[in-house]
Structure 1
């Protein structure tokens, strides 16, 4: 009888083991997000091989602002702005004898200033792909514009020489060759517009948009010029304490306003494949004595491998004002990507996240959207553009904004 029972036990154990195939074996817990409040946004686009995230994210933000104001779903032309801002940037680069960052990068205010100066057009009117590609590809464009501007500077710097009267026309010729000639008039929905009149027809007020940030090397509740290479136009942001910057973000989303977000995605906690941004920290207090001792003996590489597995939610760092400042001062936080914050979410442990629309095409696991933890946003925000009416009243008063 004992032998029969032992045989049965072995058989059952073997069957159970056989049932644990790779398809049915327990899988890592992963991150499980539940969206809390998601605001209307237009479809995800693809900036492809171009450093134009600042334009994609800010126009997406403005498209959401149009939806919030009761307007139609629009697809505004990124390349219209990029082409015109590239012209403005090259002019300033030459004026400064090359002492400026001449590249395709930019910031949210470039879009606002670009619309003010040049108006705006729909994507269908100006796709800006006049060079044989179906999506933006700027390797050649960036190199050609930089080489042209450098040649102008070099020629003008020669003894008994000056800049020709044709160089700006030549620059426009290059831009038109790559992006296409800019229409003076166009028709949409049976109505004729100029770029300026089309911009004026949109249900938004460009004066409503401000940028906020939080750093200690300038006084709080003042405006300062953000010292990053892409701020070629030397525009200003409002400086708030960290808790108040986060309060503006939260208040905006709660009241139906999205934000255009400038951030740093060079962190180890930013995963392209998982579409997650976190600032993890070892939970030493939650470890047993032997576990904590074992953790202390790991190399930094081994610790990083454990912290950045993205296999399940864990403890994250508590972000302070000093941490933000040190990361910025040490080039650990740089202005390298722009996206649109469109809502809030929680993971399976109740930790808070922001849902963010990216411009890297519709891709898994979240169809082109990403989830960034609250510590990540607090730590790595360079600046955020927001409608001034989304500010809490007491913060608006401190900034002198009506």
Structure 2
């Protein structure tokens, strides 16, 4: 039976607090400094020097500013290092993040409207319909969504499509787009309810996409179709490539077979046995593009595969919960940075599986692993290229402890050539379909 909080309960809690010997000291510290500053263990910083036995890349970091494009920045950061290595472009060279941002929002809008039509016969109270309408589109994404975009649209250098006010701060555009898409959902659901023909419905949807395209051009500019790429390399030699398309540019300058790269996740929950593959219903961006597919392996295997790729001279895109035990200013991620449980004299412990099952943690940020420190054959800390500019961490680079990797890294993208024969066979199996709200469906 429900039991309300009584005055007697409160009196007992107050008396118990009086018996806490350090209560006043802790109260003064927390009220003045805040919880994390009071719980910080600065000795942990000494274990996280930004020096690594294997260091693949030190290119200048990029800055996603006030947008949720970390997944795009991380992917393009892995690719620009290939352009730098193959063509000796200056270290300041970047691929255009806004170019893919444009096409991602356009494709996500079509993906949303397509799902609206698929669920139009369901009531608004249906959980899937409600989930769909909560966020028609957003900035975040996953690796397979990047691959789908690049396969269709290619990439361009930043000189061919530069940042705008709306790409640097996307909140106003997201609000406008989501309002427009919900408005469109009302119309499409009514057309289905009224029994209109597929031809009429598709024509109306096409009109809606025309409006979305116009909104995106106003916010980001018109996406380039052909451009001239000219630069002086690091030896001051001049190069020019005229009338090149985005797909031609990707093939020539990046030259990566995206089909070779697979998403490896670590989700140690009971509903996702290891060595099996998973997909997420209603998750994606490009209709008809590369579907989301995750291959679930133990965390130690994710580390082994990451090291193999680094040893081959290639950085690793990864997804994690960056808000957990993280010091943004100093660029540190470690499970010993803060001891809030000790400060509050309580037990907050949860396993990785429990954090996923109970909503305590999900993948919310993508970055790039560019190095690792290996001591006695074991990784102790990892070098991470972030996309928050060079004013945080060590010129924008973070240090991630191996313990933090274990607890809060959920996904790495690995060339399948580093998998065993058995793993490659398992990875191609038909995936189990997860619910749209599954933790593995969150967007970085």
**Could you state the TM-score of these two structures normalised by the residue count of structure 2?**
0.68
Counterpart-to-counterpart distance in 2, 1:299 and 1:238: 34
Within 5 Å, give how 1:83-94 maps onto structure 2: 83-94=102-113
Counterpart-to-counterpart distance in 1, 2:55 and 2:81: 12
CA contact (8 A) 1:340 1:358 kept: yes
Match of 1:155 in 2: 187
> Which secondary structure does the structure 2 equivalent of 1:265 belong to?
coil
Match of 2:364 in 1: 336
Within 5 Å, give how 1:75-224 maps onto structure 2: 75-97=94-116, 99-100=131-132, 101=135, 102-129=137-164, 131=165, 136-158=168-190, 160=194, 162=201, 163=204, 165-188=206-229, 189-202=240-253, 203-216=255-268, 217-224=271-278
> Which secondary structure does the structure 2 equivalent of 1:157 belong to?
helix
> Which secondary structure does the structure 2 equivalent of 1:261 belong to?
strand
Match of 1:3 in 2: none
Say yes or no: does 1:271 pair with 2:327: yes
CA contact (8 A) 1:252 1:391 kept: no
**Could you state the TM-score of these two structures normalised by the residue count of structure 1?**
0.75
Q: Deviations over 1:142-192 (max 9, x none)?
A: 101101111111122336475354111111000111111112211112422
More helix by share: 2
Counterpart-to-counterpart distance in 1, 2:379 and 2:423: 26
Q: CA RMSD in A?
A: 3.1
Alpha-carbon spacing, 1:372–1:200, altered in 2? closer, same or farther (3 Å)? same
Counterpart-to-counterpart distance in 1, 2:284 and 2:303: 22
- Corresponding pairs, count: 337
* Structure 1 counterpart of 2:414, from 380, 386, 400: 386
Alpha-carbon spacing, 1:345–1:226, altered in 2? closer, same or farther (3 Å)? farther
Which consecutive residues of structure 2, in runs of 5 or more, have no partner in the other structure?
1-41, 117-128, 230-239, 430-444
* Structure 2 counterpart of 1:280, from 301, 318, 336: 336
CA offset at residue 208 of structure 1?
A: 1.8
> Which secondary structure does the structure 2 equivalent of 1:35 belong to?
coil
Q: Deviations over 1:325-346 (max 9, x none)?
A: 2221122221211100000137
Within 5 Å, give how 1:282-321 maps onto structure 2: 300-302=342-344
> Which secondary structure does the structure 1 equivalent of 2:329 belong to?
coil
Alpha-carbon spacing, 1:139–1:84, altered in 2? closer, same or farther (3 Å)? same
Alpha-carbon spacing, 1:299–1:235, altered in 2? closer, same or farther (3 Å)? closer
Alpha-carbon spacing, 1:152–1:389, altered in 2? closer, same or farther (3 Å)? same
Q: Deviations over 1:10-50 (max 9, x none)?
A: xxxxxxxxxxxxxxxxxx76425132211125320110100
Counterpart-to-counterpart distance in 2, 1:38 and 1:301: 36
Alpha-carbon spacing, 1:112–1:373, altered in 2? closer, same or farther (3 Å)? same
Alpha-carbon spacing, 1:330–1:231, altered in 2? closer, same or farther (3 Å)? farther
CA contact (8 A) 1:59 1:111 kept: no
Counterpart-to-counterpart distance in 1, 2:322 and 2:95: 26
Alpha-carbon spacing, 1:53–1:193, altered in 2? closer, same or farther (3 Å)? same
CA contact (8 A) 1:40 1:67 kept: no
Say yes or no: does 1:376 pair with 2:408: no
Alpha-carbon spacing, 1:197–1:351, altered in 2? closer, same or farther (3 Å)? closer
Counterpart-to-counterpart distance in 2, 1:247 and 1:47: 29
Alpha-carbon spacing, 1:259–1:328, altered in 2? closer, same or farther (3 Å)? same
Asked which structure has the greater CA Rg, the reply is 1
Match of 2:317 in 1: 260
